[in-house]
Amino acid sequence: MKILVTGGTGFIGRATVNRLSAHGHQCIVGSRNPARAASIGLPPGTEFLSDVNQSPPVDAAILLAGESVAGLWTRRKRAAIMSSRVEGTRRVVDWMRTASPRPAVLISPSAVGYFGNRPGEVLDEASPPDPARGFRSRVCLAWEAEAWRAEDLGVRTVVPRFGVVLGPGGGMLRELLRAHRLRFSFVLGNPAAIVPWVALDDVVSAI
């Protein structure tokens, strides 16, 4: 298959592109800086583009681009987290509207922040969103709404909600270990809050 992967140079994206390529699929990686993306060691045969509207026909699209959630959530950081996910997904679905042929499937991962922090509740994919409508839930609701527009185009749409993705070489674990090695471990927010997590290998396998 030929697969468009946005965010293919990120923590999850690199692992996904490597796995797909190992299974014989050809990946087209969307990146704001294709020259830099081509230099990070993705598999031979990977193509790069800076504008999704330049994409050739593909069989599937996987959307993994988005501002990292690591770091202090200042007003500017929150705006970047929201806009990178919502606007990035919107651009891809808008491109699908005019693509011929359209991809058969869109995989647009969301996050378990959709549900909010609800101690004592057993939550599954049928549970309603965070009744408090916290920031994380608002991001997920807006993000998923853009992805689901692809269904109206006849594109099979899959929106898995992942927890914090942990694995070697990047992501949240790298930031936590960096602070810990500097003996700067601390707790942000409510120490009783549940942090659902998933291993990088499992996320890539699910995709």
> Do residues 24 and 44 touch, judged by C-beta distance below 8 A?
no
Answer yes or no: is pLDDT of 179 > 90: no
pLDDT number for residue 19: 97
Model confidence at 180: pLDDT above 70:
no
What's the pLDDT at 65? Answer: 94
Distance between CA atoms of residues 46 and 193, nearest Å = 40
What fold characterizes domain 2-206? Rossmann fold (3.40.50)
Query: Does 203 or 196 have the greater pLDDT score?
Result: 203
- Global pTM? 0.90
Distance CA 84, CA 102 (A): 23
What does the mean pLDDT of the chain come to? 91
First to last CA, the chain: 14
CA of residue 179 relative to chain centroid, distance? 24
Least trusted range by pLDDT, from 88-97, 127-136, 149-158, 174-183:
174-183
Averaged pLDDT for residues 156-185: 79
**Mean pLDDT value of segment 114-121:** 90
| pLDDT tens per residue across span 12-54 | 999 999 999 999 999 999 988 888 888 888 999 999 999 999 9
Q: Which residue has the higher pLDDT, 196 or 190?
A: 196
Strands (E), 47-119: 47-49, 60-63, 105-107, 110-111
SS in 3 state form for 117-165? CCCCCCCCCCCCCCCCCCHHHHHHHHHHHHHHHHHHHCCEEECCEECEE
